[in-house]
Amino acid sequence: MSLSNIEIAQSARMLPIGEVAAGLGIPADSLEPYGRFKGKVSLPYLASLEDRPQGKLVLMTALSPTPAGEGKTTTTVGLGDALTRIGEKAMICLREPALGPVFGMKGGAAGGGYAQVVPMEDINLHFTGDFAAIEAATNLLAAMIDNHINHGNALGIDARRITWRRVLDVNDRSLRDVVIGLGGAGNGYPRESGFDIVVASEVMAIFCLAVSIADLRERLGDIVVGYTRSRMPVRARDLDAHGAMTAVLRNALAPNLVQTLENTPAFVHGGPFANIAHGCSSVIATGAALRLADYVVTEAGFGADLGAEKFVDILCRTTGLRPSAAVIVATVRALKYHGGVDVPDLPTENVAALEHGLPNLRRHLRTVRDTWNIPAVVAINHRAEDTDAEIAAVIAAVEAAGATAIVAKHYAEGGTGAEDLAREVVRLCTARSERADGELRFTYADSDTLWDKMKAIATRIYHATDIIASTKVRDQIHRLQDEGYGAYPVCVAKTQYSFSTDPKLRGAPAHHVVDIREVRLAAGARFIVMICGDIMTMPGLPAKPAANTITVDDEGTIRGLF
């Protein structure tokens, strides 16, 4: 009988985290251990590495997600282990899992099978407390807003125009829309508000984009929490909240070092949503990894249209980080799903359906290679039921598009199963550095208007024919442009399941139009969120939540977690 993810993880032969750090040349006094297998690498030490040459950055992305699962995290781990196996000094960078979803649907966020980061229970169960710190900072600011109003509202905040919401790291639909401040004069002024999940907080996005404590403090101060009656923005700085928020986040900002099952070092740090935010682990972790290793594999959320687009147009644009290559993860199952097969029928061979789904993969591949000019390889994340005919069809299609598709069996075999993929990644990175035309290209220019930026993303990446918006939304966009936010990049919140804004349009839909329903200023994260379609920022629990089967035995061992 095959082992569950947690059983594999619990039988891992982990190195003491000090040894993992020492392997990277990190001095003992620059590692803050959190238990024996987790640690935070000190920021002053990381700052001292600034002059070192940077390793090569490999972006892990995927086709449009499906209910079948693609295994981007698993492939990141497998590739990291395979790079190590073929003799490269490699690290991986992953997002931290949120606690809330762990108790909802079953499914880990620390990889799977023989490609996991460990200790997986700790990583999934509030880890080193970073998300708790982000939650506390977010809610402190919220409390200071209502407290300011309660004590006389000297800033003249319009209680109807407060945009700042509280957050919790729990899937709790009943907190999406609430009325607070009830119960009489002692409890302040009643108003409508709501809670998001922690990963949707602008503090999370800021945390992951900040390059230092000073930058973090500055960005937190820039947060716009709402408006006065005369529509002037009110910032966290106006409330003198940003210093205390920084104090809450200080320890969290140092990146978390853990390891894979095969002892490849991994930074697991930060985890912004890939819709309402930019969906990549912290810039501090990625930047640090590039000074500590020769190859750094980092994962962006959802498909290439969302996570990778933001990685390129937000993160790379504002930080100067540049990927040398990208891996696009696909599965035979996901391709069949995009070809129209329903979930129960996915295990059955169906080459025709698979070929029908291939345009989704081809479009993402074209985006990565042609639009952004990033050398890319397709990783076929292998499952036992995949047939030779199906795999051959994928390989042929990718080759026809001028790229390579490689079967990777890290889930079942660990790093050894992804060595071919690792070799191709090294080849791409090396070829890239020898090319003259190796510059990353963005989807749009800084100087484009906000409207044109959104239009460029919609037409070039989503293959939409146009973008539309109500007069109210158009006015908002023009106002932001006039107020000086026109230079910010755009962060699109839309469904991850389709290139379009309709989650049911699988494959590679064309002739669709993107409707901008809402615009939000993220002045601390320094991007403009354009919400296209229904976006859920607070998940709910299912009828039978995973929490029902998770427990701890008398010896203290976690049971039933994935």
Per-residue x/- mask for its own copies, residues 471 to 490, rule CB under 8 A?
Answer: --------------------
Question: Residue 445: exposed, middle, or buried by beta-carbon count in 10 A (0-12, 13-18, 19+)?
Answer: exposed
Measuring CA to CA, which residue among 378, 311, 414, 411 is closest to residue 84?
Answer: 414
Cα 164 to chain centroid distance, Å, stands at 21
First-to-last C-alpha distance (Å) of the chain: 16
Complete DSSP assignment for 39-70: EEE-HHHHHTTTTSPP-EEEEEEESS--TT--
Q: Are strands 111-112 and 90-94 parallel, antiparallel or unpaired?
A: unpaired
- Is 122 among the residues that bind its own copies (CB under 8 A)? yes
To its own copies, the closest distance from the beta carbon of 280 in angstroms equals 24
To its own copies, the closest distance from the beta carbon of 208 in angstroms equals 18
Tokens of 123: 């990583």
Question: Does 228 carry a binding-site annotation?
Answer: no
- Is 172 among the residues that bind its own copies (CB under 8 A)? yes
- Is 431 among the residues that bind its own copies (CB under 8 A)? no
CA–CA dist 341, 454 (Å, integer)? 32
Question: Does 255 carry a binding-site annotation?
Answer: no
* Beta bridge partner(s), residue 167: 196
How far apart, in Å, are the Cα atoms of 49 and each of 26, 28, 95, 267, 320?
Answer: 10, 16, 23, 16, 16
Residue in this structure with the two tokens 């002059």, named with its chain if needed: 51
Task: Tally Cβ neighbours within 10 Å of residue 75.
Answer: 30
Question: Does 68 carry a binding-site annotation?
Answer: yes
- Is 161 among the residues that bind its own copies (CB under 8 A)? no
Question: Does 84 carry a binding-site annotation?
Answer: no
Q: Residues 103, 114, 411, 497: which binds its own copies (CB under 8 A)?
A: 103
- Is 107 among the residues that bind its own copies (CB under 8 A)? no
105 Cβ partners below 8 Å, 6+ apart? 542, 546
To its own copies, the closest distance from the beta carbon of 10 in angstroms equals 13
Q: Are strands 233-235 and 224-228 parallel, antiparallel or unpaired?
A: antiparallel
To its own copies, the closest distance from the beta carbon of 409 in angstroms equals 31
Per-residue x/- mask for its own copies, residues 242 to 281, rule CB under 8 A?
Answer: xxx-xxx-xx------------------------------
Which residue type occupies 34?
Y
To its own copies, the closest distance from the beta carbon of 231 in angstroms equals 23
Per-residue x/- mask for its own copies, residues 275 to 314, rule CB under 8 A?
Answer: ----------------------------------------
Measuring CA to CA, which residue among 164, 279, 270, 150 is closest to residue 222?
Answer: 164
Q: Residues 4, 54, 150, 459: which binds its own copies (CB under 8 A)?
A: 150
Tokens of 408: 């990777």
Question: Does 72 carry a binding-site annotation?
Answer: yes
Q: Determine the 3-state secondary structure of 514 from DSSP.
A: strand
Question: Does 453 carry a binding-site annotation?
Answer: no
Task: Report how many residues bind its own copies under the rule CB under 8 A.
Answer: 88
- Is 561 among the residues that bind its own copies (CB under 8 A)? yes
Question: Does 271 carry a binding-site annotation?
Answer: no
Q: Interacting stretch for its own copies, rule CB under 8 A, among 119-127, 258-266, 286-294, 519-527?
A: 119-127
Q: Interacting stretch for its own copies, rule CB under 8 A, among 49-57, 164-172, 306-314, 344-352?
A: 164-172
Q: Are strands 157-162 and 224-228 parallel, antiparallel or unpaired?
A: antiparallel
To its own copies, the closest distance from the beta carbon of 399 in angstroms equals 45
To its own copies, the closest distance from the beta carbon of 156 in angstroms equals 16
Output 220 or 316, the one with its CB closest to its own copies: 220
- Is 153 among the residues that bind its own copies (CB under 8 A)? no
| Sign of the C-alpha dihedral computed for residues 40, 44, 49 and 51 taken in this order | positive
- Is 503 among the residues that bind its own copies (CB under 8 A)? no
CA–CA dist 268, 160 (Å, integer)? 38
- Is 152 among the residues that bind its own copies (CB under 8 A)? yes
Q: Residues 3, 143, 392, 431: which binds its own copies (CB under 8 A)?
A: 143
Q: Return binding residues.
A: 66-73
Would you list which residues are annotated within the binding site for ATP?
Answer: 66-73
